A = this chain, B = another copy of it.
């Protein structure tokens, strides 16, 4: 269609001047700029980002890797990341890599290897040494959400602490017979979320002098997952706990539904607490430790763009002359930014009923 050359011709200036006028870089007189802008407007000129990328090395777009799209946490992160990037004029290209994805290598070796992104955000995907290495070699900033990645800034919550706080809430209400329903070790490959929450639970229990053996059940991280586990755990009245700490709100919802189905009153006969701050928590009156995925997404984008701005001094476009001796760039700030969670108390938790001593 219309190229910048056409704009220049129409405005009666050189390509170089038109470029400067439109991009705002370098010296251009006010009148010239006006002429160029008018010409561009007239023929409906829109710059080709490809051409610009080719010479500047900047693409104005960011790649995002994520294992799930429709699970609440990930959907929220995605929405906030997209929003923040759009605000700053960046495109977001999405790679959905479920835990067992066969495409994984192809995404890393082919899609991400092309210099198509100014930076990459990895959400809840545990990267292998090789993969991190691979991405670092691209010389593009990489920011993670949801767990530490070696040599990379990561936004996360303190899962151990969150789990401990949730458990302590139950303990403080007087519960002694507490069970944790969390993610299975098998799904764990995707991050340490599951085991961290389990550890937090165990830490709190042990600090209270309670045994943790037999207190953990695994479930899928979904409402049906919690529901099924709930039916199994609560089915046997003699082994029924007085409180359950669920590793996610969705699991907690499922547990509550299972309890209702079995005629067990929440919270009178069973307290349930979750982690997430899911929008449905209000409806289920669920007490939960709220995390804020949108804040995490927004912060990830700000962090990435800040690193990008810093790196701006150092020409992104690797000039062949500057044969820097393959520095591994380990100076990369490997901080882990921990965001706060907060306890939202609703009516799914309360003190346990007066204890009925078993067996006598």
**Chain A interface (Cβ within 8 Å of chain B)?**
1, 46-51, 53-54, 59, 61, 69-70, 72, 75-76, 78-79, 82-83, 86, 91-96, 103, 106-107, 110-111, 113-116, 222-224, 227, 254, 257, 260, 279-280, 282-283, 318
Task: State A308–B94 Cα separation when bound (angstroms).
Answer: 21
**Nearest chain B residue, comparing its CB with the CB of A317:** B1
Chain B residues within 8 Å of A78, by CB: 69-70, 94, 96
**Nearest chain B residue, comparing its CB with the CB of A257:** B283
Contact status B93-A93, CB under 8 Å: yes
Task: State A189–B78 Cα separation when bound (angstroms).
Answer: 24
How many copies of this chain does the complex contain?
Answer: 2
Task: State A61–B113 Cα separation when bound (angstroms).
Answer: 15
20 residue pairs of the A-B complex, CB under 8 angstroms, read: A46-B113, A46-B115, A48-B114, A48-B115, A49-B114, A50-B50, A50-B54, A61-B93, A69-B75, A70-B78, A82-B94, A86-B111, A91-B111, A91-B116, A93-B94, A94-B94, A222-B279, A224-B279, A224-B280, A224-B282
Q: Which of A70, A96, A222, A224 has the most B CB atoms < 10 Å from its CB? A: A70
Contact status A223-B54, CB under 8 Å: no
Nearest CB of chain B from residue A260's CB, rounded to whole Å: 7
**Nearest chain B residue, comparing its CB with the CB of A115:** B48
**Nearest chain B residue, comparing its CB with the CB of A318:** B1
Decide yes or no: A86 and B103 within 8 Å by CB, A93-B61, A279-B224 being known contacts.
yes
Residue in B83, B114, B280, B318 whose beta carbon sits within 8 Å of that of A223 in the complex: B280
Nearest CB of chain B from residue A360's CB, rounded to whole Å: 36
Chain B residues within 8 Å of A114, by CB: 46-49
Residue in B69, B103, B107, B116 whose beta carbon sits within 8 Å of that of A69 in the complex: B69
Chain B residues within 8 Å of A222, by CB: 279-280
Decide yes or no: A283 and B75 within 8 Å by CB, A50-B115, A91-B111 being known contacts.
no
Contact status A69-B61, CB under 8 Å: no
Nearest CB of chain B from residue A333's CB, rounded to whole Å: 24
Chain B residues within 8 Å of A94, by CB: 78, 82, 92-94
Q: Which 7 A-B pairs have the closest CB atoms?
A: A70-B75, A224-B283, A46-B113, A50-B53, A82-B96, A50-B50, A93-B93
Decide yes or no: A49 and B86 within 8 Å by CB, A69-B79, A111-B91, A224-B282 being known contacts.
no
Nearest CB of chain B from residue A328's CB, rounded to whole Å: 16
Nearest CB of chain B from residue A135's CB, rounded to whole Å: 13
